[in-house]
Amino acid sequence: MTNIQFAKRLQPLQSNVFADMDRAKATALAAGRQLIDLSLGSSDLPAEAHVIEAIAQSLHDRSTHGYLLFNGTQAFRQAAANWYEHKFGIKVDPQTEVLPLIGSQEGTAHLPLALLNPGDFALLQDPGYPSHAGGVYLASGQIYPMPLLAENGFLPVFADIPAPVLAQSRMMVLSYPHNPTAAIAPLSFFQEAVAFCEQHNLVLVHDFPYVDLVFEAGKWENSLLSPKSKIVRLSEAEVQNPKSLVPSILQADPDKNVSIEFFTLSKSYNMGGFRIGYAIGNPQLINALRQVKAAVDFNQYRGILNGAIAALTGPQAGVQSAVATFRQRRDAFITALHHIGWHVSTPKATMYIWAKLPSLWSQNSIEFCTQLVKQTGVAASPGAGFGKSGEGYVRFALVHEPPLLEIAVKRIAEFLN
């Protein structure tokens, strides 16, 4: 057999948390376990009927059956710009400041190809979403992990980044509400991030899939923040307005000097399988990402964009219903965990529970999750799979109804005992 030589950039991509857990789940199923999969943040809720109808109607329109180039996405880009302006009060040019994406992951994975030369650094959250690192590796860049610690409210401390790394850095990636920790960040933090990136000539990337999955405002926990942090106490207006707790990065950078933000319809509108997202931000960054995208693909089927337009412009009751559903699941799961003596904090956003592992497993989250699914059929994601600073934690995705979540916790209790 021919000895095929592969690029070195593939080496760090050989394994990731989802692929590893997929193998563990397959082993459990082969052993006859009934699987309760809490490892993948894929919503089990359906897309709204008016969204499905828009896609269905498109199927009968033969003009939608061909390739879709950039100019053909104008209606979707306008809908995205209008949605953003309505939600955050900042004007967006749909021609130069919006780019459709085949899921926001396409954008976060491809943008490093437009920004990094081999050896350049990207500043990434640790723990963080795996595709953020994957895109940097594909661009032959280096990663500097910014630790997210509970005592800092799971926010990075910019002052801790070494000067030699900063000199060689080209981009910073943030994502709040955060996956996997479910942490949120106030506007004051984003203002600090924008100022830092402007000072050090960095592009600021914000991945924003959980923009709508926010359960409650609540007062910011300043007591959790490190003395190194410059975060200030929220104003009364911020405390009263839940939206202020999940600001857009462009509210901190309204002139779009250094920032680009990625949105997806996977979470808010339960359209994960349709692979539809978009970027909004600095026109030069949008154009650079568009150049990379043009070398890789066109766009997805026009009917999917028609469904996305219906989602963004139509009734929003489905979004509110999804939030209520995940809040109910969060409360049921946490209550069940507390009943078995596993005390975790209550997240204000996302569809995840970030749970600190019992001391017996505190340094081996991968083994915990592997043995848990093997012995009980309950699948979770090990914190170490999201980065070194994720060790000692496990992430549960709230993708089942409360009765099944409660059965999962009973199985977890049996495993722990």
- 358-389 pLDDT, tens digit per residue, is 988 888 999 999 999 999 999 999 999 999 99
Same domain, residue pair 228 and 204: yes
Same domain assignment for residues 27 and 68: no
Q: Is residue 178 part of a domain?
A: yes
- Does residue 245 register a pLDDT over 90? no
Claim to verify: residue 169 and residue 307 sit in the same structural domain:
yes
Domain for residue 75, yes or no? Answer: yes
Check residue 136 and report its DSSP letter: H
| Lowest-confidence pick of 39-48, 70-79, 187-196, 249-258 | 39-48
pTM (two decimals): 0.91
pLDDT above 60: residue 32 = yes
Residue 224 has pLDDT above 70, yes or no: no
Same domain as 366, residue 284 = no
Whether the per-residue pLDDT at 239 is higher than 60: the answer is no
Clarify whether residues 105 and 240 are in a common domain.
yes
In this predicted structure, what is the pLDDT of residue 1?
57
Mutual angle of helices 365-376 and 402-416, in 10-degree steps: 110
| Residue ranges making up the domain that contains 16 | 8-46+317-416
Domain boundary among the residues 313, 348, 368 is at: 313
**Mean pLDDT, to the nearest integer, of 140-155?**
97
For 208, the token pair is 């924003």
| Same domain for 197 and 156 | yes
Give the chain's mean pLDDT: 91
Any idea what the CATH number is for the domain that residue 22 is in? 3.90.1150.10
Residues 264 and 326 both lie in one domain: no
296 three-class SS: helix
Question: What residues contact residue 335 under an 8 Å CB cut-off, 6+ apart?
Answer: none
> What whole-number distance in Å separates Cα of residue 112 and Cα of residue 38?
30
Q: Is 364 inside any structural domain?
A: yes
Lowest mean pLDDT among 4-18, 93-107, 118-132: 4-18
Q: Extract the tokens encoding 406.
A: 């409660």
The predicted structure's pLDDT at residue 217 = 53
In this predicted structure, the answer to whether residue 93 has a pLDDT above a threshold of 70 is yes
Read off the pLDDT band of 236 (50, 70, 90).
very low
Domain of residue 216, CATH code: 3.40.640.10
- With CA atoms as reference, report the closest residue to 312 among 77, 69, 71: 77
**Inter-CA distances, 51 with 73, 79, 308, 314, 379, Å:** 17, 14, 7, 8, 31
Report yes or no on 2 lying in a domain.
no
Residue 3 belongs to a domain: no
- Of the residues 281, 296, 313, which one is the last residue of a structural domain? 313
Say if residue 29's pLDDT is above 80.
yes
* Total domains in the fold of the chain: 2
The pLDDT of residue 10: 87
Same domain, 108 and 213: yes
Cβ count near 21 (within 10 Å):
22
Tell me what pLDDT residue 226 has: 37
Q: Is residue 117 pLDDT above 90, yes or no?
A: yes
3-state secondary structure 318-387: HHHHHHHHHHHHHHHHHHHHHHCCCCCCCCCECCEEEEECCHHHCCCHHHHHHHHHHHHCEECEEHHHHC
Q: Is 195 a member of any domain?
A: yes
Pair 24, 92 in one domain: no
What contacts 164, CB < 8 A, 6 or more positions away? none
The answer, yes or no, to whether residue 273 has pLDDT greater than 80, is yes
Helix (H), strand (E) at residue 123: strand 121-126
Q: Looking at the predicted structure, is the pLDDT value of residue 233 above 50?
A: no
pLDDT at 235 over 90: no
Domain boundary among 313, 343, 362: 313
Does residue 1 lie in a domain region?
Answer: no
- Residue 174 forms part of a structural domain: yes
Same domain, 41 and 96: no
Q: Are residues 41 and 58 in the same domain?
A: no
Q: pLDDT higher for 268 or 14? A: 268
- Longest CA–CA separation in the chain, Å: 69
pLDDT at 15 over 90: no
- Residue 294 and residue 406 in one domain: no
